Chains A and B, each alone.
Chain A
């Protein structure tokens, strides 16, 4: 089948009744983290997922990454069910998950190293689109390593960490650590970028700056992006669509399309449309909360 035709008819990511259940080892019980989530994500869109802690937004992302197995339902990527991690998806973690014994460059190379074993048509030269050949078996390994370094370096520069290639994570600020995390994910050239509260441990200023930089990078090739956050502002500012989730059990209550032009600017934070989106999302989250309180009252 012609791949472009496939892309036109099938959403890039489809959640089909996704249910994630965690077993509790203590009492043998189970905890429903995500219940019956359905969602279509179109290719090249930036979708943000917002909700309170414990609403299953991270579990949803981990299921799409193939890192946890759904109890029920399916995750489809390009129409094919996800059975595990894949080279088409890369993830950015809230706690950065950088290897402390590796430098920035070596950390960015980490994903490339892990995937280089089976990435044979590699590396693709972005400027020419040509596949650089690994001529001859002799010295293949060192040659390959060099290519990985070059490629990692390109992504270090892309996120603006040039000059810090040889620093270790513990020498960097939170924002810079996450830049390295983003570079590591982008370096394997995934179709889908999964970000699990990537700015969750940053201070407010760093958060805003990182949001802007992330959008600038994303605008370059518009990969499909899923971004989990508990900040309503971040969700609206970054997203084409905002998925609102609630807890007990974690479920999707609503998806809202954000009608703000791109590139997004800080001035938009004061626009009518922005304030209206924010009011609506907050009403959703508050409404759910009041609903839950009403349910909880008789038991008190």
Chain B
């Protein structure tokens, strides 16, 4: 455990951690802004916070922005929800029934070991360059950590809790609902959080590979046009989205965890 101390400035109290982190980010932004102005680096390569801010205003005002974001979000949401709906129940089942696990372990482990982006060309051949192929990539990327962690969650259930339930004449479904399910919840939540960040990655990279619209498509387009400021706006957008999603998941884990 880290000891968090507080620093008092006038009437305001800050935690040391928040203060130092804010300071480091501010210094970074300051150096980034100042370096090109002092002719230390070429802004053509590094861009600048002020240029990115200007680019962001321009992009947000444009008509394509809303279309790109909604395409990417829809791909993300569809693929990720499919991964949730399939991954959690199948993972719990595989954890509970060894025979099923033995049956499905080899293919799951094979996909787990394969970077799903290497499968991208095949997926595009099968599903085309539209949204379907992106949804498939997101699904494959997200479902694996969800599946693996759900399986582990069930398998790591404390045997003595199951024994205690049995000693009170618990039926199988009661053991599942009252012991196995709540006990594996933290592991399932971790799987969902890991799946979420892999899903975000999946959307962007799949769109960068081949697509007609979306945030990844814009990143690729501005990259080939050497528009670093426009490109970085989209990159920051993705980071912010991933960070927000992960933070929400962490808060959920704290709320639901025991």
Taking the nearest CB of chain A, how far is it from the CB of B124, in angstroms? 44
Determine whether B109 belongs to the interface, using a CB cutoff of 8 Å to chain A.
no
Stretch of A2-10, A92-100, A157-165, A259-267 lying at the B interface: A92-100
- Is the Cβ of A67 less than 8 Å from the Cβ of B168? no
Q: Which of A166-223 contact B (CB under 8 A)?
A: 168, 188
- Is the Cβ of B160 less than 8 Å from the Cβ of A114? no
Stretch of A83-91, A137-145, A146-154 lying at the B interface: A83-91
Q: How far is the CA of A168 from the CA of B257 in the complex (A)?
A: 12
Residues in A with CB closer than 8 Å to B161 are 97, 99
Taking the nearest CB of chain A, how far is it from the CB of B253, in angstroms? 13
Q: How far is the CA of A110 from the CA of B182 in the complex (A)?
A: 13
Q: How far is the CA of A115 from the CA of B165 in the complex (A)?
A: 10
- Is the Cβ of B160 less than 8 Å from the Cβ of A67? no
- Is the Cβ of B178 less than 8 Å from the Cβ of A85? no
- Is the Cβ of A101 less than 8 Å from the Cβ of B169? no
Determine whether A65 belongs to the interface, using a CB cutoff of 8 Å to chain B.
yes
**A97-B160, A100-B258, A168-B258 known; A85-B182 Cβ under 8 A:** no
Residues in A with CB closer than 8 Å to B163 are 67, 93, 97
- Is the Cβ of B168 less than 8 Å from the Cβ of A111? yes
Q: How far is the CA of A90 from the CA of B167 in the complex (A)?
A: 7
Determine whether A113 belongs to the interface, using a CB cutoff of 8 Å to chain B.
yes
Q: Which of A112-134 contact B (CB under 8 A)?
A: 113-115, 117
Q: Which of B175-212 contact A (CB under 8 A)?
A: 178-179, 182-183, 185
Q: How far is the CA of A84 from the CA of B185 in the complex (A)?
A: 29
Residues in B with CB closer than 8 Å to A95 are 160
Residues in B with CB closer than 8 Å to A89 are 167
Q: Which of B158, B165, B185, B258 contacts A114 (CB 8 A)?
A: B165
**Nearest residue, chain A, Cβ from B169:** A85
Interface size class of B (residues with CB under 8 A): 10 to 19
Q: How far is the CA of A130 from the CA of B164 in the complex (A)?
A: 30
Interface string of B144-169 (1 = CB under 8 A from A): 00000000000000101101111111
- Interface residue SS majority, chain A: loop
- Is the Cβ of B167 less than 8 Å from the Cβ of A85? yes
Q: How far is the CA of A93 from the CA of B159 in the complex (A)?
A: 12
Q: Which of A85, A101, A168 contacts B168 (CB 8 A)?
A: A85
- Is the Cβ of A86 less than 8 Å from the Cβ of B182? no
- Is the Cβ of B182 less than 8 Å from the Cβ of A114? no
Interface size class of A (residues with CB under 8 A): 20 to 34
Q: Which of A67, A99, A113 contacts B167 (CB 8 A)?
A: A67
Q: How far is the CA of A252 from the CA of B158 in the complex (A)?
A: 31
Determine whether B170 belongs to the interface, using a CB cutoff of 8 Å to chain A.
yes
Q: How far is the CA of A100 from the CA of B167 in the complex (A)?
A: 18
Q: How far is the CA of A187 from the CA of B158 in the complex (A)?
A: 23
Residues in A with CB closer than 8 Å to B182 are 99, 101
Taking the nearest CB of chain A, how far is it from the CB of B229, in angstroms? 49
Residues in B with CB closer than 8 Å to A67 are 163, 166-167
Q: How far is the CA of A111 from the CA of B160 in the complex (A)?
A: 14
Determine whether B254 belongs to the interface, using a CB cutoff of 8 Å to chain A.
no
- Is the Cβ of A113 less than 8 Å from the Cβ of B160? no
Determine whether B174 belongs to the interface, using a CB cutoff of 8 Å to chain A.
yes
- Is the Cβ of B258 less than 8 Å from the Cβ of A110? no
Taking the nearest CB of chain A, how far is it from the CB of B178, in angstroms? 7
Q: How far is the CA of A86 from the CA of B170 in the complex (A)?
A: 10
Q: How far is the CA of A188 from the CA of B164 in the complex (A)?
A: 13
**Nearest residue, chain B, Cβ from A169:** B258
**Nearest residue, chain A, Cβ from B179:** A99
**A99-B179, A101-B182, A110-B178 known; A115-B168 Cβ under 8 A:** yes
Q: How far is the CA of A97 from the CA of B166 in the complex (A)?
A: 12
Q: How far is the CA of A85 from the CA of B165 in the complex (A)?
A: 10
Residues in B with CB closer than 8 Å to A65 are 167
Residues in A with CB closer than 8 Å to B179 are 99
Q: How far is the CA of A114 from the CA of B169 in the complex (A)?
A: 7
- Is the Cβ of B164 less than 8 Å from the Cβ of A86? no
Taking the nearest CB of chain A, how far is it from the CB of B62, in angstroms? 49
Residues in A with CB closer than 8 Å to B164 are 91, 93, 97, 110
Residues in B with CB closer than 8 Å to A99 are 161, 178-179, 182-183
Residues of B within 8 A of A (CB): 158, 160-161, 163-171, 174, 178-179, 182-183, 185, 258
Known contacts A65-B167, A86-B169, A111-B168; 19 additional CB pairs below 8 A are A67-B166, A85-B166, A87-B169, A89-B167, A91-B167, A93-B160, A95-B160, A97-B158, A97-B160, A97-B161, A99-B178, A99-B183, A101-B182, A113-B178, A114-B168, A114-B170, A114-B178, A115-B169, A117-B171
Interface pairs A-B: 4 shortest CB-CB: A101-B258, A97-B164, A111-B168, A91-B167
19 A-B residue pairs with CB within 8 Å:
A84-B169, A85-B167, A86-B169, A87-B169, A90-B167, A93-B163, A93-B164, A97-B161, A97-B164, A100-B258, A101-B183, A101-B185, A101-B258, A110-B164, A110-B165, A113-B178, A114-B170, A115-B168, A168-B258
